[in-house]
């Protein structure tokens, strides 16, 4: 049995599964700086310079727990894959000043995406769509992610550059959290 989800899609989950059960099943831990729960599921062979050839993570966001993917950008493309739960709304702020919203979810005929590539250099942040409870998705990069890649978004700077999206930006920025991982902190490895 499935319930009706935001944006016209059907939820892709058992009515009895909980965030705690999913987190335990996948061995998820809090994601430093960005937010949500995650686990790195794959890293390709190491390239010269120490970067993996590719990397993949699984991520769980929970609306009741105020978990979201904070505004950030990466130097390379990142592919987002929707798996289960409620849709995820991604706010994308393009380097040329463009503002887009992409919804990850299973209702592809209503414009949702089961997979979407965010171009390198694009500011991105995401949360469970309004009315939803949780979302399980993955992110993949090639070449792979290192903690030095992550640049968190400063609310004031982003709102000045993209004033039309200021309210949405502020909902996707964590106050009091560093914008970068400490140098050499591979414990903060994400995508």
Which residues touch 172 (CB under 8 Å, ≥6 apart)?
Answer: 68, 69, 70, 71, 91, 125, 126, 127, 153
127/30 Cα distance (integer angstroms)? 15
The pTM of the whole model exceeds 0.75: yes
Nearest to 83 by CA among 191, 151, 11: 11
166/179 Cα distance (integer angstroms)? 18
Contact by Cβ (8 Å): 177, 85 = no
What confidence score (pLDDT) does residue 14 get? 57
User: Could you list the pLDDT tens digit for every one of the 191 residues in the chain?
Assistant: 334 444 445 555 556 799 999 999 999 999 999 999 999 999 999 999 999 999 999 999 999 999 999 999 999 999 999 999 999 999 999 999 999 999 999 999 999 999 999 999 999 999 999 999 999 999 999 999 999 999 999 999 999 999 999 999 999 999 999 999 998 665 444 44
CATH code for the structural domain at 6-175: 2.60.120.10
What confidence score (pLDDT) does residue 12 get? 57
What confidence score (pLDDT) does residue 6 get? 45
What confidence score (pLDDT) does residue 183 get? 80
Count of Cβ atoms closer than 10 Å to residue 114 Cβ: 15
| Burial of residue 154 (number of CB atoms within 10 Å: 0-12, 13-18, 19+) | middle
Identify the three-state secondary structure at position 39: strand
Domain ranges of the chain: 6-175
């Amino acid at each position: 049995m499935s319930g009706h989800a935001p944006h016209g899609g059907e939820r892709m989950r058992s009515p009895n599964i909980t965030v705690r059960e999913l987190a335990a099943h996948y061995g998820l831990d809090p994601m430093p700086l960005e937010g949500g729960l995650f686990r790195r599921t794959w890293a390709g062979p190491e390239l010269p310079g120490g970067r993996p050839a590719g990397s993949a993570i699984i991520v769980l966001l929970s609306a009741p727990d105020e978990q979201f993917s904070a505004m950030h950008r990466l130097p390379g493309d990142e592919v987002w894959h929707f798996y289960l739960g409620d849709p995820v709304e991604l706010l994308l702020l393009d380097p040329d000043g463009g503002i887009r919203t992409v919804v990850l979810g299973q209702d592809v005929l209503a414009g949702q995406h089961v997979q979407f590539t965010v171009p390198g250099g694009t500011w991105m942040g995401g949360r469970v769509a309004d009315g939803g409870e949780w979302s399980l998705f993955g992110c993949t990069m090639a070449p792979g992610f290192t903690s030095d890649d992550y640049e968190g978004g400063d609310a004031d700077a982003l709102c000045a550059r993209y004033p039309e999206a200021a309210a949405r930006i502020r909902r996707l920025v964590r106050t009091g959290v560093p914008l970068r991982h400490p140098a050499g902190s591979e414990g903060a490895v994400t995508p």
